[in-house]
Amino acid sequence: MQGSNNIVGERVKEARLKRKPPLTQDDLSGRLSAVGVAIDRAGISKIEIGIRYVLDFEVKALAKVLGVSVDWLLGAKD
């Protein structure tokens, strides 16, 4: 995703795959649903490849279910 302004998508994929065991896009979608945020597997895929932007409340939910900080998802910390 070289040249993309979508930092969150890259970070979502990285965090999802670093989980032990790694989460599938379906798993992530289900966990988001459990906290009240509806993003289906196709939506997760679009976020990860940079063609769907993420709303502020979705960033918070993604951070929560992936076990990372909002700052990290936004690229502020490595």
Task: Quick: pLDDT tens for 36-53.
Answer: 999 999 999 999 999 998
The predicted pLDDT at position 4 comes to: 58
The predicted pLDDT at position 77 comes to: 66
Burial class (CB in 10 A: 0-12, 13-18, 19+), 52: middle
The predicted pLDDT at position 31 comes to: 97
DSSP for 5-67, written as a single string = S-HHHHHHHHHHHHSSSPPPHHHHHHHHHHTT----HHHHHHHHHTSS---HHHHHHHHHHHT
Return the half-sphere exposure (C-beta side, CA atoms, 13 A cut-off) of residue 78. Answer: 0
The predicted pLDDT at position 1 comes to: 42
